[in-house]
A and B are shown apart, each in its own frame.
Chain A
Amino acid sequence: MLSGGTNRAQNRASSADSAALLAPDVYPDSRNRLPLPKRDDMDDEGKKIFDKMTRHSPLAVGIENPSPRLYDPPLAESLGEAGHYLKYETGLPNRLLEVAVLVTARERDCQYEWTQWETHGRDPHDPRYIEPAIIDTIKYGRPGVGLGEKESAIIALGRQILGEKKVSSATFAEVLRLFGPRLTVDLVELMAGYSACATEMPAIDQQLLEGQKPLLPAMTPHLPNPWAGRITM
């Protein structure tokens, strides 16, 4: 999600080489269509929120600079708190968090989030590490066979919420059996939140970090079976 953190990206993006590759309406400091929000432009309440929202997150991913949401500090605060809770405080294990975000990014074709999360998920030293076979199952729209039942259930849930826009009774019942009502709601909201985040990216034309290679292949749209043969490389 659009998160707070350090200004590393800002510093990295300041090079002329980086700017030369961006669309004319994309700012080099933020790598999107809005320049980085500036703390000095805010009133006292805004500055408090700015400081709070740019703390380093325990497992930071994504835009490592002040979120564009900080143009409306109360908005950034409320959304940031909800996002932080869903990522770090629901009790969902890191590997299942990884699966849930990846399936959401895949279904929404969100290159930005996918590339951040696949990178973390493939790093054996990262708490969100998952087996490469799971990543590839999600990435290439393969059937979720041979996976753990929780991983399979999350993939099916995400594909149906976002791909089919309707969750089957069987899938929902399985998720409920495995996670219970509270964590089921958390999972749905986590995926819905990342789905929403994926919608922001095309609005502000968010670019990958400097030097990052896109890792998500395009999906062939509008095929009748959303799980078969839809990947183009």
Chain B
Amino acid sequence: MTYETGLPDGLLEIAVLVTARERDCQYEWTQWETRGSAPADPHHIEPAIIGIIKYDRAVVGLGEREAAIINLGRGMFAEEKVSSATFPEVLRLFGRRGTMDLIELMTLYSQDAAGLAAFDQQLAEGQKPLLPFR
């Protein structure tokens, strides 16, 4: 799901980050922000996008696909209901298959967040936590 659906790396990065933010998953956030912030990494995205997700800022000034993924994730996790405006936009941009892939990718990382909480998974030695508390 992470590597074979055809979702571009930058959009994968956004989908995982919004999931980690909404689930307050320090472990996944810190791994993925580190990659997303590294210019040489294929997952690199603009720092402004990371900031919008990290600090719950309004989704403005982004590409339509980036914005749609953030809105989808926030709807699924924070609002517990994806709006009738967001869903058709995701469907228009990604198609039925791509939409299901996105939903399942985010639910998978949500699943991971639950497992990490159960096992009290710590960051790697020396890693600094990058996700601020809400």
Binding site for B on A (CB under 8 A): 23-25, 33-34, 68-69, 71-72, 74-75, 78-79, 109, 157, 160-162, 165-167, 172, 188-189, 191-193, 195-197, 199-200, 202-205
Contact = CB atoms under 8 A, between A and B. Distances in A.
Contacts of B99: 34, 71
Given A199-B106, A205-B81, A172 B75 contact: no
B120 interface: yes
Contact of B107 (A157, A189, A200): A200
Given A188-B114, A199-B77, A71 B87 contact: no
B14 to A, nearest CB: 16
A34 B4 CA distance: 22
B46 interface: no
B117 interface: yes
A147 B101 CA distance: 40
Interface in B69-99: 72, 75-77, 79-82, 84, 87-88, 91, 96-97, 99
Contacts of A202: 75-76, 79-82
Interface of B: 1, 4-5, 23-24, 72, 75-77, 79-82, 84, 87-88, 91, 96-97, 99-101, 103-104, 106-108, 110-115, 117-120
Nearest to B104: A75
A203 B75 contact: yes
Contacts of B77: 199
Contacts, number: 102
A34 B96 contact: yes
A199 B100 CA distance: 12
Contact of B101 (A33, A72, A165, A205): A72
A199 B80 CA distance: 8
Residue among B87, B91, B111, B120 with the most chain A CB within 10 A? Answer: B111
A197 B103 CA distance: 10
A205 B79 CA distance: 12
Given A69-B100, A202-B76, 5 more contacts: A25-B87, A34-B100, A166-B120, A188-B114, A195-B111
A206 to B, nearest CB: 11
A79 B107 CA distance: 11
A195 B22 CA distance: 14
A75 B87 contact: no
14 contacts: A25-B88, A68-B100, A72-B104, A161-B117, A165-B24, A165-B117, A192-B115, A197-B107, A199-B110, A200-B103, A202-B75, A202-B82, A203-B72, A203-B103
A182 to B, nearest CB: 14
B80 A109 contact: yes
Contacts of A200: 76, 103-104, 107
A204 B75 CA distance: 11
A165 B82 CA distance: 23
A75 B5 contact: yes
A96 to B, nearest CB: 16
Nearest to B72: A203
Contacts of B81: 202, 205
A202 B81 CA distance: 5
Contacts of B113: 165
A189 B103 CA distance: 18
Contact of B100 (A24, A75, A78, A167): A75
A192 B111 contact: yes
Contacts of B119: 167, 172, 188
